[in-house]
């Protein structure tokens, strides 16, 4: 049986700092869009005795898929932000009309969207820069048995803050790895200070 998840409206911060005319309803709608998508897809898959999408995708692929979906959905609901049309451009969302064709390789006016299983929102990025960063922390159930009784994907935390290059530390991955950056202790504290959504989680089974 596939369950439909609903956004908990009472878990939103009543007075967060929101740039670029963003509204709480934009986040609420984007999160519900993700919930509804997973419900529809998993209902279809389970009807054919196939595994849920949550169980099919590897952790990194699942986080990337959720980030892309949230980016598209926030752009759809937002009054001022649209998707960055530059392939792999930064940030994911840009202020409409600021850049030619709403396309920029590396811009400053917009919001970068990340999703992760890591509680607290300390997600890896491809480099520290001045930006508005939005991190969605979600939880998936891969432990309940039988698998048909597993809980749907659930957002636990959402953070949004403006951060600077000095807020990041570099992660060295060796000769064969890709070097990444993560917010340092002070940077994470800044991010968490402007929380958008907070649903105190149960013990997390997985991390990515």
Q: Is residue 66 part of a domain?
A: yes
Is it the case that residue 202 has pLDDT exceeding 50? no
90 assigned to some structural domain: yes
1 or 19: which carries more pLDDT confidence? 19
CA dihedral in degrees (16, 123, 170, 183; nearest 10)?
20
Q: Is 205 within a domain?
A: no
pLDDT of residue 125: 73
The answer to whether residue 1 sits within a structural domain is no
What separation, in Å, do the N-terminal and C-terminal C-alpha atoms of the chain show? Answer: 26
User: Could you give the number of structural domains in the chain?
Assistant: 1
- Judge whether 207 lies within some domain: no
Residue 183 lies in a domain: yes
Per residue in 89-130, pLDDT (tens digit) is 999 999 999 999 999 999 999 999 999 998 888 777 766 678
Is the separation of the CB atoms in 85 and 101 below 8 Å? yes
Please report whether residue 6 resides in a domain.
no
d(CA 190, CA 200): 19
Query: What average pLDDT does this structure show over 133-157?
Result: 94
- pLDDT band at residue 142, thresholds of 50, 70 and 90? very high
**Inside any domain, residue 208:** no
Q: Which two tokens stand for residue 191?
A: 């991010």
- For residue 24, the domain's CATH number is 3.40.600
Q: How far is C-alpha 176 from the geometric centre of its chain's CA atoms?
A: 27
Q: State which residues form the domain around 30.
A: 11-198
């Amino acid at each position: 049986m596939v369950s439909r998840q609903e956004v908990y409206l009472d878990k939103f911060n009543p007075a967060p700092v929101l740039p670029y005319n963003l509204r709480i309803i934009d986040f609420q709608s984007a999160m519900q869009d993700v919930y509804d998508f997973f419900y529809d897809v998993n209902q279809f898959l389970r009807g054919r005795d196939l595994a849920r999408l949550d169980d099919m995708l590897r952790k990194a692929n699942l986080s990337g898929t959720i980030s892309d979906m949230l980016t598209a959905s926030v752009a759809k609901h937002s009054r001022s932000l649209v998707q960055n049309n530059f392939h792999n451009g930064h940030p994911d969302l840009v202020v409409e009309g600021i850049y030619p064709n709403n396309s920029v390789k590396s811009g400053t006016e917009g919001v970068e969207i990340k999703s992760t299983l890591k509680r607290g929102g300390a997600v890896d990025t491809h480099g520290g820069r001045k930006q508005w960063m939005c991190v969605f922390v979600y939880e998936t159930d891969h432990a309940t048995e039988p698998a048909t009784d597993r809980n749907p994907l659930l957002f636990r935390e959402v953070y949004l803050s403006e951060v600077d290059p000095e807020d990041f530390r570099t992660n060295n991955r060796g000769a064969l790895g890709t070097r990444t950056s993560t917010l340092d202790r002070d940077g994470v504290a800044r991010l968490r200070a402007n929380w958008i959504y907070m649903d105190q989680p149960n013990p997390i089974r997985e991390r990515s």
